[in-house]
Amino acid sequence: MDNELKDPRRTEAVTPPTPTRLTSADVSVFCEGMAMMLAAGIQVDEALSLLDVRRGNARLSSVCDAAYRIVSNGQGLAAAMEQTKAFPRHAVDMVAIGERTGRLEQTLRRLMLYYDEESRVFSKVRTAVGYPAALLCVMAVIIAFTVWVVLPVFVDVYESLAGSLTAGSSASIAASIAIGWVALAVTIIGAALTVAAVIASRTPRGNASLIKLLERLPLTRNAMEKLALSRFALALSTYISSGVNDDVALSESIQTVEHPRIRARAELALQFMQDPERGLGLSAALAESNLMDALYSRMLIIGARTGSAENVLAGLGETFFNEATDSIDRVIDSVEPLLAALLTVAVGATLLAIMLPLIGIMGSIG
């Protein structure tokens, strides 16, 4: 009783907190800390009180304080997470299931892994667009210097020698100026778009939009499919480990995936499970729908037979993520020489065109 009077965060009335949306990394840290506290036998309210992250993350600290006040007034952790409006819907639903089934600690650990992987996904997406953005900005500066500083010097020299220039030389000068401005305009537009993508990738909504765009690009399409498959496998592993039945686990996991192909095949697997004539289990339905390669499907079937399907799914999620990041790294590695080649062609073509009349003039003088 005395502790309650001394603790300034215990209030009779809970004021609705200001919404502070947490990042995937924040949610992962929160779930990890809570799982560790619960494993040590600490109650939920005290765990929130002890989860001191003020020095490292003020945003997460304020959310923990708000959740602590709500839990101290007799509500559960899931209700507190929902009222703070800081957690994703998926995390709130999973914690609610964990509280109902008595597997809150296990659920929090699975959520920690899930949102850690999601944070790594968004980090890779930012890298995929950030690197080209930096190169394009450098290209824009170099081409702008060429167009605004170098070309006018040559143009002034040629204008002073206008009487000595042929019609072909004048056309060459005009073409070089046009090439320079076109290259500059294209580079500036590309840099602006990639910088805007980098800025958008700092928000959950911007990340989702950026991933949808990368899903349509030929170079990143396969990587985005692997990332979606990784997210689906980790979500399904989380639901199964929380104690829900396979039908509900698959149905809820589908809601976490927006990739059209992965979602369509997962929905087909759900239909196979719900079809009374087929009567397929989860692993067999996923294999029948061709959601993943035959080797991975076989691993999942064996895991289901041994009662470790959730562990196999978690391992597959990590495997798919690593495959996706390797693919993204290869794309990034191929972008650098491509942009360097474009820069060389743009600047080289501009300078070559402007130098041709000078070569002609020097030849006539000689």
pLDDT in tens, 351-363: 676 676 666 555 5
The pLDDT-based confidence of 16 (bands split at 50, 70, 90) is very low
State percent of the chain over pLDDT 70. 82
Exposure letters 52-80 (e unless 16+ CB within 10 A, then b): ebeeebeebebbbbbbbbbbbeebbbbbb
Tell me the two tokens of residue 341: 């080649």
Number of other CB atoms surrounding residue 337 within 10 Å:
9
Whole-number pLDDT of residue 20: 65
pLDDT at 12: 40
Q: Which amino acid is at 271?
A: Q
pLDDT for position 10: 41
365 pLDDT above the threshold of 70: no
Angle of CA points 89, 92, 97, to nearest 5°: 125
Stated pTM of the model: 0.66
> Residue range 295-302: average pLDDT?
90
Residues 6+ apart with CB under 8 A from 310: 110, 237, 238, 240, 241
Q: Is the pLDDT of residue 310 over 80?
A: yes
Residue 3 has pLDDT above 50, yes or no: no
CA distance 154 to 156: 5
pLDDT of the residue at 266: 92
Task: Mention every residue, 6+ apart, whose C-beta is less than 8 A from residue 126.
Answer: 198, 201, 202
Between vectors from CA 42 to CA 36 and to CA 48, what angle results, nearest 5°? 75
Q: Quick one: pLDDT band at residue 204, thresholds 50, 70, 90?
A: low
Mean pLDDT confidence for 235-259 = 84
Which residues are within 8 A (CB) of 56 and not within 5 positions of it... i.e. 6 or more apart? none
The string of pLDDT tens digits covering residues 335-353 is 777 777 777 777 776 667 6
Considering only 14-28, 130-144, 179-193, 274-288, which range has the smallest mean pLDDT? 14-28
- Count the neighbouring beta carbons within 10 Å of the beta carbon of residue 222: 15
The more confidently predicted of residues 331 and 289 is 289
**CA 121 from centroid of its chain's CA atoms:** 4
| 18 or 217, which is more confident | 217
How confident is the model at residue 123, as a pLDDT?
A: 77
**Mean pLDDT (whole number) for 4-22:** 47
Q: For 128-172, how does the pLDDT look when each residue is reduced to its tens digit (9 = 90+)? A: 777 777 877 887 887 788 778 777 777 677 667 655 555 555 666
pLDDT at 126: 75
**Residues 61 and 20: beta-carbon distance below 8 Å:** no
Lowest mean pLDDT among 38-42, 93-97, 345-349: 345-349
pLDDT at 269: 92
The rounded distance, in Å, linking the Cα atoms of 226 and 72 is 42
The residue ranges of DSSP E strands in the chain, in sequence order, are none
pLDDT tens across 273-296, in order?
988 887 788 889 998 999 988 888
The listed range with the strongest mean pLDDT (6-10, 57-61, 264-268, 361-365) is 264-268
pLDDT tens for each residue of 96-126: 888 887 888 888 888 888 788 778 777 777 7
Q: Residue 169's pLDDT is what?
A: 59
Structure tokens that stand for 210 in this block: 């950026």
Q: What is the pLDDT of residues 314-326, one digit of tens each?
A: 888 888 888 887 8
- Segment 299-326 mean pLDDT: 86
